[in-house]
Every structure is written in structure tokens, then in C-alpha cells.
Chain A
């Protein structure tokens, strides 16, 4: 069964149900499905947490995931990871789940629609100044835009916009291209070769989720770099006295 046919570029075009001005397309349906799996699964597992010798195997599973994410983030920021785990970890888990569930027949990854990836990139776009301002203050954050001189202000702004576009298009292009490649291969050489490409698609999906999370962490960490300068200035001012 093929939900999105080959000549449709995005699952947004497949409308399942519409009433008035509201319409339910495949992207929304599967986004809510992935969200439901993540939320209900985590709720079921974390309902009765235990510490001690008798730890359930699902709790081990979640602890391994969370501690890996925390380790990666704290290696990158060289400081505490607790502020960033909710955002970056959620991004990773959502993208990874929706990319891996592609092996279920009839499932269309919501990340193969540019609207989903644009929304995720917009979250990162808003999170960067949010974390930056909350850590270094609004003045120091805005001052970063005028480094080294005020001429560089438009370039900083352009950089912010273009990297958001790059985040969007990278995830969308990778996932969508694999759907199209598998669709074309099914028409040309059925049975064996599409399966091999499907396995490669799983690997690429996980790598893309990792890259999206790591890149958003890099962008947030770059906004925090002003913090070190502030501390150095304070040290310089403090040292003569």
C-alpha cells in the first residue's frame, strides 16, 4: 500500500478528512501518532520508577537514552547539560522515532514534509536567543551581533536565517529523497534492492536525527560563547584590585 504516490512531493498533499476550512492530512496524523507513542510510552514507564536493585528493564532503557544524551550535551557545552536536555533531547527523540518508524508499512515519516522540518528549525531559531539572553543578559547578547564592528550586523542576521533554512532543507531533503529513491527502485528493480535501500534509509534517518540535535546544540552553544567573554572581562577588572 502506498500512501504518498510518487508524483506527490510532500505528504501534506494527501488529505484524509476535511471539514470546512479544517483538513487532516497525513503529516498531522502521523506527527500526532509519533507524539502519542513518545508521550504515552514515557508516561507508562515513568509511572512507577524505582531505585535500588529491582529496576524494570524499560526504566533501564530510558535511563540509557537519557544518560547518553546528557553525556553528549555536557561534552559539547563543557558545563551542565540540564538546561538543554529537554529541548535537544526532545528534538532528537521525535526525529529519530519518526524516521525509524518508516519500516512499518503505511507509515509516512512526518519529517519528509517540509512543514514539519520548518517548524522544528523554527523552534531552534527561537531557542538560540532564548538561551543566549537567559544566560548572558540581553545587552551582552545583542553586543555579539556587532562584533567585531557594526558593519557585520547584517551578516550575523543573515547567518542566523540561512542556518535555519539549512536545518530545514537538510532534514527534509534527506528523508524525502529516500522515500522517492525507494519508490523509484520499486518500479525498476522490485523485491531485493529496495530492502537494502530501506536499511540504509534507517541508518541515514538516525544519523540525521543525531545531526539535527548536534547542530541545534552547536547553535545554542555559540550563543552562550559570549558568557565566557563576560567572565574574562570580570576577571580582568577584578585582578588589579
Chain B
């Protein structure tokens, strides 16, 4: 197997693995956060505004981890830096 197809295979598999494994943690975390926020809103409906805002900020923080994984996999597929070394 020549190095071009090796790099292509490694980047495609790596992109899939990065996305798949990387979204497990944020998925669990966001589920926990939303469950807790819903319980809190059910207990104190008056505080809904500030709870929702804090929930959104927290979700954005958690979500950014999954977004990092996504950007890494996009870089591997669309803008792979190792192609430059192989196709020369």
C-alpha cells in the first residue's frame, strides 16, 4: 500500500473515530445538564429566566467539546496537513 492511500485511510478512519468517541461525553453531559435544569425549573418556576440563561451558557460550554472534535474531523477530511507531505 502506498503512502497516499495510507494517509487517506488513516484520516478518514480518524475523522470517524474522533466524531464518534468525541460526542459520547458531551452527549452524556448535556443530558445531565438538561435533566437537572428541568428539575430545577419544575421546583422553582419563578426563576425560569435565569435558569434558562445559565443552562444555555452551560450547554454552549459542553457543546464546544463536541465542536472541537467535529472541527478536527473536518480538518482531517478537507484540509489535511499531511497531504502536503505525501503529494509532493
Contact = CB atoms under 8 A, between A and B. Distances in A.
30 contacts: A7-B78, A8-B78, A9-B74, A9-B75, A9-B79, A75-B49, A75-B50, A75-B53, A166-B64, A169-B64, A169-B71, A170-B60, A170-B63, A170-B64, A172-B71, A173-B67, A173-B71, A174-B67, A176-B74, A177-B70, A177-B74, A210-B56, A211-B56, A211-B60, A214-B53, A214-B56, A214-B57, A215-B57, A215-B60, A218-B57
B68 interface: yes
Nearest to A172: B71
Contacts of B60: 170, 211, 215
A160 to B, nearest CB: 15
Interface residues of B, number: 17
Interface string A200-241: 000000010011001100100000000000000000000000
A169 B68 contact: yes
Nearest to A174: B67
B42 to A, nearest CB: 22
Contacts of A8: 78
